[in-house]
Chain A
Amino acid sequence: MKIFVNEVDNLLTESLSGFAAAHRDLVSLNLDPHFVTRANKAKNKVALISGGGSGHEPLHTGFVGHGMLDAACPGHVFTSPTPDQMMAAAEAVECGRGVLFIVKNYAGDVMNFEMAGEMIVCDHATVLTSDDVAVENSTYTTGRRGVAGTVIVEKVVGSLAETGADLAHCKALGERVNQRTASMGVALTSCTVPAAGRPTFDIGENELEMGVGIHGEPGRRREPMRPADEIVKDLVTAILHDLQPVEGSEVLLMINGFGATPLMQLYMLYHSASKQLAAHGFKVERSLVGNYTTALDMAGASVTVCVLDEEIKRHWDSPVHTAALRWGM
C-alpha cells in the first residue's frame, strides 16, 4: 500500500492543519486537544458538536459551519475522540443554550461522549445515530452502527438549531431523522489503517463484502461479484425492509463513496437505486451523491434512504455553508 506520509504519527495533525488552512474562512483548528470550530462563533443557538474517529473525512470536520455543526472532535484514525476534546470544544462553542452531541453508535464513541457529558457543567443532550441496517438490532448487542445517515442528521438538526430552537426540540428532531433513515454498504476492497500498514481484512479479487461497516468491519456476508443492479437491489431491499415506508413516500437518496470508488461509479449506483426506489413506488425528491462518510481507501459505497416529511425537507433545503456541503448561501 502506498500513501502520502511523512511520519505516520503526524499524519492526522498535518491533515487537520491543511484542512484548517484551506478553509480558514469557515473554520479554526485547536491542536491541544484536537477540535475544529466555526471561524466565527455562533450566538443564541444550541451548540451542535459531533466527533468520531478520523479516516471518514469529510465527516465530521467538513460539516462544521453555518447550518450544520458548531464543532467537531476528530479522534485518531478509526478511534473515537477522548472526553477532554469534547469538553474543550463544548467550552469553546457553548453560548448559553446548551450542547447537543451527535454521536455515531459505537461503544467507544458512546463511552467517551458519555464521560465528557458527566464532566461538563452546561445543559447537554445526545442524539445517537444508528442508520446501518446491515447489523440487526438486538437488546444483546451494542446495536446498529451509525454511518452515512449521520450527515443527514447533522444537516437537518443543524438547520433547526440555526432557528433558535431549544435543546429538547433539536434532540427530538435528530432522533426522528435517525429513525427515518437507513443505510447499507458494500465493500469491494479493504481499507488500510496507516499506522497498521496492512489491509484490515482480506478479500478476493472477485468478492464483495455485503453490509460492510465504515471501518472495514464485516457485514452480513461475503459474496462473489455480481452485476451492479443486483448488488443495489440487495441494499435497497434491506433498507426498505427496515424502514417500511408508506407507498408514495418522498425520500432522500444518498449514495456515499467509501473513499476509493470514482464518482462515475457513484452516479451509476444512484441511477440504479433511484430506478429501483421508483419501481417500489417511492418518490426520490432529494439526493446527495459523493464521498461524505469514507473509510480511508476502501473501495465501495453505501446507499442511504431518508423518508422525508415537510419539516425534514425544509431543513434539508435550508442554506448551509461548510467545507463539504454548501448551498443556498
Chain B
Amino acid sequence: MKTETILQAVDAVCDAITEHEAEIESLDRALGDGDHYINVRRGVTTIAGMREELAPLAADVALQRIGMKLLSTIGGASGPLFASFFLAMAKRLKETETADIAALAAAFADGVDAVKQRGKSDVGEKTMLDVLIPVAQTFRQQAEAGAAMPQLLEAIKTSAEQGMLSTRDMLATKGRAAFLGERAIGHVDAGAKSAQVMIAAVCDFLAGRP
C-alpha cells in the first residue's frame, strides 16, 4: 500500500462525510447529542490537511501519525476509537514484510480488535462495531479466497451497508444512545452510519469510481 493511496482515500472520505452531513447529523440528534458529525469532520479535515507532512512517510508511519493526530483532534468517544484503529493497523503493517491484500485484511482486523478493546464493546450493541466487525470478516474471507479486487470491494461495501442497517432494530447498550433505552429502536446509529460512509468512500475510490 502506497502512502499516496492512503492520502487520496482520505480526500475521498472527506468528501463523502461532507456529502452525508445532514443524514449523520439527524441520526445523531435522534440518539446522541448532535456532535458526532462535527467531531468526525474535524478529524478527517485535519488529516486531509496533513498531506505535505504525510506524503514522504512510509505507509505504516503515516497511519501511525494519523492515529495520533485523530487522538488529539476528535475527542469524545470517536477520538480514542478511531485512533486505536489506526494505531493498531500501523503496528501490524510495520511488522509485515509484504503488504499484500491478506496483510491489509489482517491489519484491518487488528484495527477493529483495538476498537473492541478500547470501547469494551462488540457486535450487536448499536455502534460503529456493527459495521467494522462484519467488514473485517468479509475482508479476510475475500482475501483468503483470492477474490478479484472489484468483487472484494463490492463485498466489503455490501457488508458495511448491511451492518449499518442492522443497528436500526437494536437496543443501544454502549455510548450515549444507551440512555434512550427502547426509544433508540428504529434509528440507525450515527457512528455506524459514518463508519459505513467512510468504508464505502474508500471502496469506491479504490474501484476507480468517482
Q: Which A residues are in CB contact (< 8 Å) with B34?
A: 78, 193, 196, 198, 200, 216
Q: Residues of B contacting A141 with CB < 8 Å?
A: 173-174, 178
A200 touches B176 (CB 8 A): no
Most buried by B among A75, A142, A215: A142
* Residue from the list A33, A78, A138, A198 in contact with B33, Cβ < 8 A: A78
In this complex, the interface size class of chain B, counting residues with CB under 8 Å from chain A, is 20 to 34
The answer, yes or no, to whether A61 is at the interface (CB within 8 Å) is no
The residue in chain B whose Cβ has the minimal distance to the Cβ of A132 is B179
- Asked if residues A108 and B75 are in contact (CB atoms below 8 Å), the reply is yes
Instruction: Given A82-B79, A84-B72, A108-B79, answer yes or no on A77-B175 (Cβ-Cβ < 8 Å).
Output: no
Q: In chain A, what residue has the closest Cβ to B184?
A: A218
Residue of B nearest to A134 (CB): B179
Q: Which residues of B contact A115 (CB under 8 A)?
A: 71, 80, 83, 118
**Cross-interface CB contact of A82 among B38, B71, B174, cutoff 8 Å:** B71
Residues of B within 8 A of A134 (CB): 179
Cβ A215 vs Cβ B71 within 8 A: no
CB distance from B31 to the nearest CB of A (A): 9
With A78-B33, A200-B29, A218-B180: A142-B175 Cβ-Cβ less than 8 Å: yes
Tell me if A107 and B174 are in contact (CB < 8 A). yes
Q: Mark A62-86 against chain B: 1 for CB-CB distance below 8 A, else 0.
A: 0000000000000111111111100
Task: Establish whether residues B77 and A77, one from each chain, have CB atoms under 8 Å apart when the complex forms.
Answer: no
User: Contact: B75 with A75, CB < 8 Å?
Assistant: yes
Interface size on A, residues (CB 8 A): 38
How many residue pairs, one in A and one in B, have C-beta atoms under 8 Å apart?
Answer: 111
Residues from chain B with Cβ under 8 Å of A201 in the complex: 29
| Neighbour of A111 across the interface among B119, B173, B176, B180, CB < 8 A | B119
Say yes or no: B179 contacts A81, CB within 8 Å: no
Bound-state Cα–Cα, A111 to B38, Å: 19
Within 8 A of A (CB), among B167-210: 173-176, 178-180, 183
A82:B179 contact, CB within 8 angstroms: no
Given A196-B25, A200-B34, A80 and B75 contact (CB-CB distance below 8 Å): yes
B32 at the binding interface (Cβ < 8 Å)? yes
Task: Tell me whether A196 and B77 are in contact in the complex, defined as CB-CB below 8 angstroms, given that A83-B72, A142-B178 are known contacts.
Answer: no
The distance from the CB of B28 to the nearest CB of chain A, in whole angstroms, is 9
Residues of B participating in the A interface, judged by any CB pair closer than 8 Å: 25, 29, 32-35, 37-39, 42, 71-81, 83, 118-119, 173-176, 178-180, 183
Q: A112-B76, A141-B178, A200-B34 are in contact. List 10 more A-B contacts (CB 8 A).
A: A79-B74, A80-B79, A82-B75, A83-B71, A106-B77, A108-B78, A145-B179, A196-B29, A196-B37, A213-B176
Nearest first, the 9 closest Cβ-Cβ pairs linking A and B are A108-B77, A215-B33, A111-B80, A108-B76, A79-B75, A107-B77, A79-B76, A84-B72, A141-B178
